[in-house]
Structure 1
Amino acid sequence: MCNAEHQPDGPQLGTIRRSFLRNTGLVSLGAAVASIAGGATASAAPLPTTRTQSAQSAGARPDPTNPRFTLVVMPDTQYMFDGESIHPEPIKASFRYILDHTRDENIVFMSHLGDLTQNGQQPEFDAISEAFTLLDNGPIGYSVLAGNHDINSSTGDQRGTSPYLGAFGPQRFRHAPTFGGASPDGYNTYHVFQAAGREWLVLALDWRLSPAGFAWARDVIKQHPKTPVILTTHEIVYADNPGDPAQLSDYGKQLWDGLIASNDQIFLTLNGHFWPPARTTLKNNAGNEVHLHITNYQNRYYGGAAMIRLYHFDLARNTIDVQTFSPWILDRSEERLNELERQEIELTSDQDYFSIPIDFTQRFSGFAPVPPRPARPAQQMLIPGTVAYWRFDGTGRQGPLPDTVRISDLSGNGNDLTKVSVPGSPANALSWSTEFHPDQPGHGSIFFTGHQNPLQGAYLQTGPNAPLNKAMFSSGYTVEAFFKLPADWNPDNDAWAALLSRWGMSSESKKTSGDPQEPIATLSLSGGAELQWCIYPLNLTGSVTNWGHYLPLNAWWHVAVVNDGHHTTMYVDGCPVVRNPSTESTGITTLGRPWMLGGYEYGGTINQILHGYLGDVRIVNRALPTSKFMRS
Structure 2
Amino acid sequence: MHSTPGDDQHAADCGCPRTADLDGDGIAASSRRTFLHRAGALGAGAAAVGLLTETPAYASTGGAGKGNGGGADDDPYGLTTMVPAPRGTWSPDPENPRFTVVVMPDTQYMFDEDRIHPVPMEASFRYVLDPAGRAGGPDENIVFLAHLGDVTNNGLAEEYAAATKVFDLLDRAGAAYGVLAGNHDVSGTDQRGSTPYLDTFGPARARRTPGYHSSSPDGYNTAHVFTGGGRKWMLLSLDWRLSEQGFAWANAVIADNPTLPVIVTTHEIVGADEDGAASLSAYGQQLWDGLIKDNDQIFLTLNGHYWPPGSTVLKNSAGNDVQLHITNYQDRYYGGAGMIRSYRFDLNRGMVDIATFSPWIRELVEKDEANALAAQELELTSKVDYFSMEIDFDQRFAGFAPVPARKARPARRMLLPGTLAYWRFDDGGAAGSDVAADTVIKDQTGKGNDLVLRSAPGTPAHSLSWTADHHPDQPAHAGLVFAGQGNPVSGSYLQTVDQAPINGETFAHGYTFEAFFKVPSDWDGGRNGWSAMLSRAGSAGQAGKNGPTATAEEPILTLSLSSSIELQWNVYPLNQNGATTAWSHLLQQEQWWHVAVVNDGRISKLYVNGCEEGRNPTSTAVGLTALGMPFLLGGYQWAGAINQVFHGTIGDVRITGRALTPGQFMNA
TM-score by length of 2: 0.88
Instruction: Say which SS state the counterpart of residue 263 (structure 2) adopts.
Output: strand
Q: Which residue of 1 aligns with 2:76?
A: none
Q: Which residue of 2 aligns with 1:131?
A: 166
The equivalent position to 1:594 in structure 2, one of 630, 648, 652, is 630
* Distance in 1 of aligned mates of 2:454 and 2:334: 76
The sequence identity of aligned pairs, in percent, is 54
* Distance in 2 of aligned mates of 1:157 and 1:431: 63
* Distance in 2 of aligned mates of 1:197 and 1:405: 45
Deviates more, 1:494-503 or 1:484-493: 484-493
Instruction: Say which SS state the counterpart of residue 335 (structure 1) adopts.
Output: coil
Instruction: Say which SS state the counterpart of residue 623 (structure 2) adopts.
Output: coil
Tell me if 1:444 matches 2:478.
yes
Tell me if 1:27 matches 2:27.
yes
> How far off is 1:18 after superposition?
8.7
> How far off is 1:335 after superposition?
2.7
* Distance in 1 of aligned mates of 2:407 and 2:507: 32
Tell me if 1:365 matches 2:398.
yes
Instruction: Say which SS state the counterpart of residue 164 (structure 1) adopts.
Output: helix
Contact conserved, 1:40 with 1:161, CA < 8 A, in 2?
no
Instruction: Say which SS state the counterpart of residue 254 (structure 1) adopts.
Output: helix
> How far off is 1:56 after superposition?
4.2
The equivalent position to 2:142 in structure 1, one of 67, 84, 107, is 107
Contact conserved, 1:118 with 1:149, CA < 8 A, in 2?
yes
- Distance change >3 Å, CA 176–CA 394, structure 1 → 2: farther
The letter of the residue matching 1:67 is: P
Deviates more, 1:226-235 or 1:618-627: 618-627
* Distance in 2 of aligned mates of 1:515 and 1:287: 56
- Distance change >3 Å, CA 395–CA 157, structure 1 → 2: farther
Contact conserved, 1:501 with 1:595, CA < 8 A, in 2?
yes
> How far off is 1:157 after superposition?
1.6
Question: Aligned ranges for residues 31-42 of structure 1 at < 5 Å?
Answer: 31-35=33-37, 42=43
Q: Which residue of 1 aligns with 2:320?
A: 288
Contact conserved, 1:54 with 1:138, CA < 8 A, in 2?
no
> How far off is 1:421 after superposition?
2.2
* Distance in 2 of aligned mates of 1:505 and 1:381: 31
The equivalent position to 2:554 in structure 1, one of 518, 521, 525, is 518
* Distance in 2 of aligned mates of 1:544 and 1:107: 46
* Distance in 1 of aligned mates of 2:579 and 2:333: 65
- Distance change >3 Å, CA 24–CA 207, structure 1 → 2: closer
Specify every segment of 5 or more residues in structure 2 that has no aligned partner in the other structure, as ranges. Answer: 50-83
The equivalent position to 1:254 in structure 2, one of 268, 274, 286, is 286
* Distance in 2 of aligned mates of 1:448 and 1:11: 70
Deviations 1:419-460 (A, max 9, x none): 112344343221111111122112211111112244322111
> How far off is 1:405 after superposition?
0.9
Contact conserved, 1:56 with 1:100, CA < 8 A, in 2?
no
Instruction: Say which SS state the counterpart of residue 226 (structure 2) adopts.
Output: strand
* Distance in 2 of aligned mates of 1:427 and 1:56: 74
Tell me if 1:140 matches 2:175.
yes
Deviations 1:298-347 (A, max 9, x none): 01100001111111111122111221111111112443210011011111
Instruction: Say which SS state the counterpart of residue 253 (structure 2) adopts.
Output: helix
Instruction: Say which SS state the counterpart of residue 167 (structure 1) adopts.
Output: helix
> How far off is 1:466 after superposition?
0.8
Instruction: Say which SS state the counterpart of residue 94 (structure 1) adopts.
Output: helix
- Distance change >3 Å, CA 10–CA 530, structure 1 → 2: farther
Deviates more, 1:277-286 or 1:200-209: 277-286
Q: Which residue of 2 aligns with 1:89?
A: 119
> How far off is 1:94 after superposition?
1.1
- Distance change >3 Å, CA 426–CA 72, structure 1 → 2: same
Contact conserved, 2:451 with 2:496, CA < 8 A, in 1?
yes
Tell me if 1:551 matches 2:587.
yes
* Distance in 1 of aligned mates of 2:35 and 2:87: 38
> How far off is 1:24 after superposition?
7.6
- Distance change >3 Å, CA 11–CA 541, structure 1 → 2: farther
Q: Which residue of 1 aligns with 2:493?
A: 459
* Distance in 2 of aligned mates of 1:231 and 1:6: 27
Question: Aligned ranges for residues 229-378 of structure 1 at < 5 Å?
Answer: 229-241=262-274, 243-332=275-364, 333-378=366-411
The equivalent position to 1:415 in structure 2, one of 427, 430, 449, is 449
* Distance in 2 of aligned mates of 1:421 and 1:5: 75
- Distance change >3 Å, CA 373–CA 55, structure 1 → 2: farther
Q: Which residue of 2 aligns with 1:619?
A: 655
Instruction: Say which SS state the counterpart of residue 258 (structure 1) adopts.
Output: helix
Q: Which residue of 1 aligns with 2:72?
A: none
The letter of the residue matching 1:27 is: I
Q: Which residue of 2 aligns with 1:43?
A: 44
Q: Which residue of 2 aligns with 1:505?
A: 539
The letter of the residue matching 1:285 is: S
The letter of the residue matching 1:2 is: H
- Distance change >3 Å, CA 410–CA 160, structure 1 → 2: same
- Distance change >3 Å, CA 20–CA 415, structure 1 → 2: farther
Contact conserved, 1:570 with 1:577, CA < 8 A, in 2?
yes
The equivalent position to 2:88 in structure 1, one of 44, 57, 65, is 57
Instruction: Say which SS state the counterpart of residue 451 (structure 1) adopts.
Output: coil
Deviations 1:588-607 (A, max 9, x none): 11211111111111122211
The equivalent position to 2:11 in structure 1, one of 3, 7, 16, is 7
* Distance in 1 of aligned mates of 2:643 and 2:544: 22
- Distance change >3 Å, CA 188–CA 593, structure 1 → 2: same
Instruction: Say which SS state the counterpart of residue 125 (structure 1) adopts.
Output: helix
Specify every segment of 5 or more residues in structure 1 that has no aligned partner in the other structure, as ranges. Answer: 48-52
Q: Which residue of 2 aligns with 1:534?
A: 570
The letter of the residue matching 1:480 is: E
Deviations 1:487-543 (A, max 9, x none): 222223221111101111111111114322111110000111100000111122211
- Distance change >3 Å, CA 244–CA 11, structure 1 → 2: farther
The letter of the residue matching 2:353 is: D
- Distance change >3 Å, CA 131–CA 448, structure 1 → 2: same
Contact conserved, 1:477 with 1:621, CA < 8 A, in 2?
yes
- Distance change >3 Å, CA 309–CA 452, structure 1 → 2: same
Q: Which residue of 1 aligns with 2:54?
A: none
Instruction: Say which SS state the counterpart of residue 267 (structure 1) adopts.
Output: strand
Q: Which residue of 2 aligns with 1:566?
A: 602
The letter of the residue matching 2:540 is: S
Q: Which residue of 2 aligns with 1:203?
A: 236
Deviations 1:253-279 (A, max 9, x none): 221222111111111111111111112
Question: Aligned ranges for residues 374-413 of structure 1 at < 5 Å?
Answer: 374-394=407-427, 397-398=430-431, 399-413=433-447
Tell me how large the CA RMSD over aligned residues is: 2.4
> How far off is 1:246 after superposition?
1.8
Q: Which residue of 2 aligns with 1:50?
A: none
* Distance in 2 of aligned mates of 1:624 and 1:24: 68
Contact conserved, 1:41 with 1:162, CA < 8 A, in 2?
no
* Distance in 1 of aligned mates of 2:25 and 2:196: 21
* Distance in 1 of aligned mates of 2:124 and 2:115: 19
The letter of the residue matching 2:181 is: A
* Distance in 2 of aligned mates of 1:9 and 1:362: 47
The letter of the residue matching 1:199 is: K
> How far off is 1:42 after superposition?
4.3
Deviations 1:534-588 (A, max 9, x none): 0111122211110111011111111110112222110111111111111221111
Contact conserved, 1:183 with 1:216, CA < 8 A, in 2?
yes
The letter of the residue matching 1:43 is: A
* Distance in 2 of aligned mates of 1:439 and 1:204: 38
- Distance change >3 Å, CA 41–CA 373, structure 1 → 2: farther
Contact conserved, 1:56 with 1:99, CA < 8 A, in 2?
no
Q: How many residues align?
A: 618
Contact conserved, 2:440 with 2:451, CA < 8 A, in 1?
yes
Deviates more, 1:290-299 or 1:329-338: 329-338
Tell me if 1:186 matches 2:190.
no
Contact conserved, 1:145 with 1:207, CA < 8 A, in 2?
yes
Contact conserved, 1:44 with 1:125, CA < 8 A, in 2?
no
Instruction: Say which SS state the counterpart of residue 158 (structure 2) adopts.
Output: helix
Contact conserved, 2:87 with 2:172, CA < 8 A, in 1?
no
